[in-house]
Copies of this chain bind each other. A is one copy, B any other.
Amino acid sequence: MTDRYTKAVNSGFTQTLAKKLGLPRPAVLRRYRAGDSLTVGPVLVVSDGASKADADAIAQTLLGWDLDVRREPTDDVRWGAVVLVLTEATAPTDASEAVLATGSVLRRLAGNGRVVTVSRAPADGDSPALSATRHGVDGFLRSVAKELRGGATGNGVVLTDDVAVDDPSVLGTLRFFLGAKSAYVDGQLLRVGPTADGVPAADAPEPATDRPLTGQVAVVTGAARGIGAAIARTLHRDGATVVCVDVPAAGEALAATANAVGGTALQLDVTAEDAGERILAHARERHGRLDVVVHNAGITRDKLLANMKPGQWDAVIAVNLAAQLRINAALLEAGLEGLRIVSLASTSGIAGNKGQTNYAFSKAGVIGHTRATAGLLAARGGTANAVAPGFIETEMTSRIPFATREVARRIPSLAQGGQPVDVAEAIAFLASPAAAGVNGQVLRVCGQHLVGQ
């Protein structure tokens, strides 16, 4: 699926016209299809001197994924990806050689290619030089992502000090960034820590598994349409049995989604006092368990604060934030083992947005409760994470006036809006066993939108 503008400016006649008019010509993004190769070409693995052993381990894993792995930049291939390993760099000058090696192949990076950095997260007690080096990777990665073209993206895996590069979650995150499931994730760094208590790394499945959610039960709120329906489809594709939740007014669409994914429908207003208990009861009674909860239901009541009415403020806080808190409290109370919660935040909750003080408060709040809940779930082997979409093409955004919509679409590095499935893929990744070490994080799915980082 591609938006009409992207289709038009990339088709024969209009392509020439668009070029003459100087309109941005966003690339057609490669999205996941079962059976396609992970990358679009050979993968170059480079590192600074001290990180060579880590780079070797990563190269070994990539070979195991049937990729064509190279260790030297050459001019004779169209590269599918560059993996830049800087895990053991301790001084800013350490990165120089590997960074320049990366630069040397960028002109031969294929469309929909990938640059992925693998580095360490700054930590308390880092020396100034170490902290500078670790932070430096952040500024570098976000810059290089802005330079890539043709649907290529740049993202970073950031390991905490207590995690090895061959940790399943590190490899799972690397795989997500290398492949087509992260098509609209760009310029982002995702932190990977040790797997939560109760989920020993040895039990974690191969990240290459095709249906990682087999046998699991997932609940998706706001599942009747748009992004929610895409999430339900994607979790189903990954093997989960999906409980589709939406308000009674959306009953017909909800039933259609539930049928399409072979799941069940639960008509429920998420702001109901007992919403959490009812979700839990439905999942247990109908499917015998509950493993994943996706808080996708949300509303907007955009208004400048100067014109905001109490009902507009309160409704947004109630649906987007208070309801999630109440449902999570019930889930925590139930003490489920290994529960994965993924909540929908927004770039508006990170950078703010004109006319969205209420929405931005609620979405920043989602980030807040995600961080706090992460610690509580970790004790039972679970995780809480958030996904922050940028401009996503939905029925809702199709009602935005044309000019405003066009501007919003072209601002990200990828020069186009994302598709609901892009958000769904990020959520499916965060719900999967491969992401067991990703906890309390916010993953933006925004094509590297200018706003926020």
Contact = CB atoms under 8 A, between A and B. Distances in A.
A92 interface: yes
A98 to B, nearest CB: 11
A308 B129 CA distance: 24
Interface string A128-146: 1111111111111111111
Contacts of A352: 139-146, 187, 453
B351 A132 contact: no
A371 interface: yes
A128 B313 contact: no
A131 to B, nearest CB: 4
A368 to B, nearest CB: 3
A264 to B, nearest CB: 28
A136 B364 contact: yes
A446 to B, nearest CB: 12
Interface string A365-376: 111110111011
Interface in A112-136: 122, 124, 126-136
Interface residues of A, number: 82
Q: How many copies does the complex hold?
A: 2
Given A357-B144, A452-B453, A365 B136 contact: yes
Given A100-B313, A147-B304, A147-B355, 7 more contacts: A92-B325, A131-B368, A134-B368, A136-B361, A139-B349, A140-B360, A146-B352
Contacts of A96: 310, 313-314, 317
Interface stretch (A50-58, A101-109, A242-250, A393-401): A101-109
A450 interface: yes
Given A142-B351, A368-B135, A325 B99 contact: no
